[in-house]
Amino acid sequence: MDFESRVLPELRSVLEVFPSFDLEGNLELSRSLVSNPPIEKSEHVCTTSRMIPGAAGEMLAKIYEPTQRTGAKLPAMLWIHGGGYVMGHPDMDDALCERFVQAAKCVVVSVDYRLAPEHPYPAAINDCYAGLTWMADEAESLGIDLDRIAIAGASGGGGLTAALALMARDKGGPALIFQMPLYPMIDDRNITASSHEITSDSATWNRTNNLAAWNMYLGERTEASEVSPHAAPSRAESLAGLPPTYTCVGQLDLFRDETIEYVARLAKAGVDVEFRLYPGCFHLFEVIVPQAEVSQRASKSYVDAIARALNP
């Protein structure tokens, strides 16, 4: 069966109108297709934007918190937007971040990390680590409980989430209570069955674009170059010591097999992990077709996971 016929009927119609990315041919056009949809802001969430220290100068951070706050310190989450390391902006996830705030009664910080190819690895992960350490350093002014900090992101943001968990472990902090790398982009080698399987131009993320994005992110390198697990978390020798984890992926997602392998390795390393696989679902299905029943089920599952983790 071809890719399109395997997609769930409730998701299939969007494939005919979804604009395909051509990262190598026209990166700027591809970036313009990642829109920041206007949302009806919740009266229960206050959003502020400020410049904070990044790894190489100031960067934008968006801070989402409950409008009505008492003096109590709240749990917090660093959210990392997706875009294959080469696209995206915090604005694209405003609605989702508001949803996290309301469900988990938490503070969410989302950072505008630098993008490749203008800023290849390690720019993005260093910016994310700077954002995490800023959150911890500013815990008092942000009203954050340092014992309840989580990190999360989707796609390329999921890859940065997994990398950030490794970096925080390897550097000795900040301490994390939970990580949620959703359908993460974590293996630059592109050798799994699913990375060869998802090649259709109608796929929302296919092998051609994945190869191009990794090349842009990793920059100039030779055959002998070693790729750090802080760039491609699948290369980590050990996953021991990582925080409890939630992840999910569609069965028709190019990242299916690297996600499943990551889940299995976490479990073998003694890390508590919850995992959901969604048959008939492609990359970003719950974002692109949010009204579908399977999309609502998937997004509710990961929003609930954050709420449970931050409010044990």
Report the candidate in 210, 146, 182, 130 with the shortest Cα–Cα distance to residue 295: 182
* Catalytic residue from among 94, 127, 188, 253: 253
Q: How many whole angstroms separate alpha carbon 16 and alpha carbon 171?
A: 46
* Catalytic residue from among 30, 155, 194, 234: 155
Where are the alpha helices (H) located in 105-238, listed in sequence order?
123-137, 139-142, 156-171, 193-197, 207-218
The residue written with tokens 């929302």 in the block is: 204
Residue 279: C-alpha distances to residues 5, 159, 262, 291 (Å): 12, 22, 19, 17
With both helix axes pointing from N to C terminus, report the angle between 156-171 and 123-137 in degrees, rounded to the nearest 10.
60
Residue 76 bridge partners (DSSP): 107, 149
155 in catalytic set:
yes
Beta-strand pair 74-80/45-54: unpaired
* Catalytic residue from among 81, 119, 230, 283: 283
Q: How many whole angstroms separate alpha carbon 76 and alpha carbon 78?
A: 7
253 in catalytic set:
yes
Query: What does the buried/exposed string (b/e) look like for 222-247 if buried means 16 or more CB atoms within 10 Å of the residue's CB?
Result: eeeeebbbbbbbbbbeebeebbbbbb
110 in catalytic set:
no
Active-site positions read 155, 253, 283
